[in-house]
A and B are shown apart, each in its own frame.
Chain A
Amino acid sequence: MTPSSSLDTAGAAPHGEHHDHHPNYLVDGTTIKSWLLTVDHKRIGLMFLFWVLLFFLVGGIFALLIRIELLTPGPTIMDAMTYNRTFTLHGLVMIFLFMIPAIPAVFGNFMLPLMLGAKDVAFPRLNLASLYIYLAGAVIALWGMLNGGLDTGWTFYTPYSTHTTTTVAPVLFGAFIIGFSSIATGINFIVTCHTMRAPGITWFKMPLFVWAIYATSCIQVLATPVIGLLLVLVTVENLFSFGMFDPARGGDPVLFQHLFWFYSHPAVYIMVLPAFGVMSEVVSTFSRKNIFGYRAVAYSSLGIAFVGFFAWGHHMFVSGQSTFDAGVFGVLTMLVGVFTAIKVFNWIGTVYKGAVDFKTPFAYFCGFLFFTVFGGMTGIALGTVSLDVPWHDTYFVVAHFHFIMVGATIMAFLAALHYWFPKMFGRTYHEGWGLVSAALIILGFNATFIPQFLLGNNGMPRRYYDYPERFQALNVASTAGASLLAFGFIIIALYLAYALVYGKAAGKNPWRSKGYEWQSESPPPTHNFVGPQPTFPEEPHFYVDPKKAEVPDAV
């Protein structure tokens, strides 16, 4: 640790002698090695941010290619096989490389120790390892995608995936390795919550983002091993024809689906639970109000994590499952809606009579609320067996899961990025551009996926390369929406990159938030807090009277 005195590059305005002795984490060591071998959770979080954004770009480009291909019936820019590989790559990259690690690995890593008053996560070296395991898995999977490609869709359904001539083994093996990264991160966060809380932070004084990450980690630890085993079995079967899921050899492909969705359904909550956590922080800060029903929000995270494990069967209503099973899974699916509704009502209760400060993160909160409610309601509809049967594997399902998984998660990811940008980099961005791009993104997202609900309801199946003439108008609308969405992301990239270099110094607490993480400097010093371990006497989200704005002064 060589203290650096180069305050110009520190980002934050000079605050006196503190910075001389405690350089912020960005400038504490500037060699490449000091970044690549760091055990600082904040630097690891930033490196995850870099990779996650890169994979988001890759997945996004492939999404646009799919939309362009579907602009007209018949071949537009690629052949059918390329199309199959493109949507598989889009799904794989977006789910395994972006959505699952996006919020936990980036913002969870960065904020969790800060919010607990800890110096780091419990196992810093395991944390660094999880980054490299993630990258190793990504490299192997992408190598497989580029050398032969995979045309199964991201669900790898057997027996097709065990018989296809495309490269299944390296892609599945890559996904298996990424699973280890997920497990390592999950274990790390759970242990951190149990052992690293600063004195005075009881379980019910943990910020709600921490609760959400904790619940997410429980799912990661409990579900990921099962898909890990499954991916190994399918890989082995693809290479050696062991017949585990091959009906020609007596195997049962429905068993594959059970094991696959036992992970992949809870994986949806790995994606959206952290999003819920981010929103609890954002809504409290920008309403200047204590979160309404703190315990209910905390418990409902655990509730979603729990019932999320008993809903997987709703992916298999048309797989020959018994009517009784379908009914049970349908009801269990709807229970998730109950827990989500608890959160939604509490967020609205928080905004009610609050002193709303309509900044960019709050704009994303509004979009998030719409996507969650709309996506959630269509989820209840799809959980109803009689409705799911005609909608099964149509664009209705595509639109539904994009609304709830992508819509909600992207809103939260962008909200988190804007909300914590000053904390992470010590600089502020242009608020006007933030609001403009938020509006563009929300509009673009609706324009992309609402036509897909209509397409699905009219009977257009998902994953099809070609379609009848009558579906074209809605497909064009959807592609236009996707272009708008892409445009919005480009604007965000531009003004955030500008802010990174030329942004004004943010100061310690630009939002005047009561969140624990804002009590540290922006950007925080290497061990998070200057001086002895902090204690947090007040509860998180503690605003006495929103109208009086009894909050710390912006520095």
Chain B
Amino acid sequence: MQSSAHTAEGAAPVPRLAAHFASLEVQTHAARLGMWLFLATEILLFAGLFVCYGCYRFLYPEAWAEGSRSLNLMMGTVNTVVLITSSLTAALAVHYAREGKNKMVGIMFALTLLMAIGFLVIKYFEYHHKFEIGTLPGRYYTYEGMQQPGIALYFTVYFCSTALHAFHVLIGMGVLTVAMIRAFTKADFGPNNYTMVELGSMYWHLVDLVWIFLFPMLYLV
């Protein structure tokens, strides 16, 4: 395509400058700016759900309180800790990429991915439990224990937001897997060339950040 290697291929950390950019700094700046804008759109995507949450919480405060109490606080807390820790390892990957330690980048992303899987497994058990007892959205709500008006809506909001979040976890895992494989096999990250690691990690922080909002909204308050 447009990119052209300025130095010999195959040599260790080779920054690639696309033909239409003035310099590497500008190229990195553009990539970062683009990612920040994209993350802003992701936040806004969830903001729509937060509006739904706020609106219905205002309409059905009792249902919200009861629905919130019915969630498994233990599992939610463990998941929060897992996800925040995974954000730390993702950040460390950027740190090592800057120093050119490709093996450590790979290991850090591998750890992040393990924790992501752990998060999804815990989420699976939470979902499974709800499917068993019937605390499900809309017309699928069959649970006898809670009969507040609007309780099914609470689970609509719960499932929509956690499912959308889990979907983002999956996308993030895909991105980090590619970065991990490149770190292990090609070892081409270095002080001048760590944009992919940095942007992948930024995306992972977004996944973490959204959960940090979802957790208190759904489990705590």
Partner of A187, one of B19, B38, B60: B38
User: What 1/0 mask marks residues of chain B from 1 to 41 whose CB sits below 8 Å from any chain A CB?
Assistant: 11000000000000000111110001001100110011011
State the majority secondary structure of interface residues on B.
helix
Residues in A whose Cβ lies below 8 Å from that of B19? 119, 527
- Given the interface pairs A39-B1, A226-B48, the reply to whether A195 lies near B30 with Cβ below 8 Å is yes
For residue B187, give the distance in angstroms from its CB to the closest CB of chain A. Answer: 24
Do the beta carbons of A125 and B20 come within 8 Å of each other? no
Partner of A243, one of B30, B45, B138: B138
Asked if A480 is at the interface (CB within 8 A of a chain B CB), the reply is no
- Given the interface pairs A195-B26, A243-B153, the reply to whether A119 lies near B20 with Cβ below 8 Å is yes
Asked if A190 is at the interface (CB within 8 A of a chain B CB), the reply is yes
User: What 1/0 mask marks residues of chain A from 224 to 240 whose CB sits below 8 Å from any chain B CB?
Assistant: 11101110110011001
Report the stretch among B49-57, B90-98, B127-135, B202-210 that lies at the interface.
Answer: B49-57
Give bound CA distance, A230 to B52, whole Å: 10
- Given the interface pairs A120-B20, A230-B48, the reply to whether A242 lies near B34 with Cβ below 8 Å is no
Do the beta carbons of B153 and A249 come within 8 Å of each other? yes
Do the beta carbons of B41 and A221 come within 8 Å of each other? yes
For residue A225, give the distance in angstroms from its CB to the closest CB of chain B. Answer: 4
Residues in A whose Cβ lies below 8 Å from that of B150? 250
Residues in A whose Cβ lies below 8 Å from that of B37? 186-187, 190-191, 221
Residues in A whose Cβ lies below 8 Å from that of B1? 39, 124-125
Residues in A whose Cβ lies below 8 Å from that of B41? 183, 187, 221-222, 224-225
Number of interface residues of B (CB under 8 A): 42
Do the beta carbons of B20 and A250 come within 8 Å of each other? no
- Kindly report which residue of chain A lies nearest to residue B155, judged by CB atoms: A242
Give bound CA distance, A236 to B33, whole Å: 33
Residues in B whose Cβ lies below 8 Å from that of A228? 45
- Given the interface pairs A241-B138, A241-B139, A249-B138, the reply to whether A194 lies near B30 with Cβ below 8 Å is yes
Residues in A whose Cβ lies below 8 Å from that of B60? 250
Partner of B20, one of A190, A196, A229: A196
Residues in A whose Cβ lies below 8 Å from that of B164? 229, 232
Do the beta carbons of A226 and B44 come within 8 Å of each other? yes
Partner of B139, one of A186, A229, A233, A243: A243
For residue A161, give the distance in angstroms from its CB to the closest CB of chain B. Answer: 15
- Kindly report which residue of chain A lies nearest to residue B40, judged by CB atoms: A221
Do the beta carbons of A255 and B55 come within 8 Å of each other? yes
Do the beta carbons of A250 and B48 come within 8 Å of each other? no
Do the beta carbons of B160 and A233 come within 8 Å of each other? yes
Partner of A259, one of B48, B138, B149, B152: B48
- Kindly report which residue of chain B lies nearest to residue A186, judged by CB atoms: B37
Interface residues of A (CB under 8 A from B): 39, 118-126, 183, 186-188, 190-191, 194-196, 221-222, 224-226, 228-230, 232-233, 236-237, 240-244, 246, 249-252, 255, 258-259, 527, 533
19 cross-chain CB contacts under 8 A: A122-B21, A124-B18, A186-B37, A195-B29, A221-B41, A222-B40, A225-B44, A225-B48, A226-B44, A236-B160, A240-B139, A242-B137, A242-B139, A242-B159, A249-B153, A250-B153, A251-B153, A255-B55, A527-B19
- Known pairs A241-B139, A244-B160, A250-B149 / 20 extra A-B pairs, C-beta < 8 Å: A122-B21, A187-B34, A191-B37, A194-B33, A195-B30, A225-B41, A228-B45, A229-B46, A229-B48, A229-B164, A233-B160, A237-B138, A240-B137, A240-B139, A240-B140, A242-B156, A250-B59, A251-B153, A252-B55, A255-B55
Top 7 A-B pairs ranked by shortest CB distance?
Answer: A229-B48, A243-B138, A119-B20, A120-B20, A242-B138, A225-B44, A225-B45
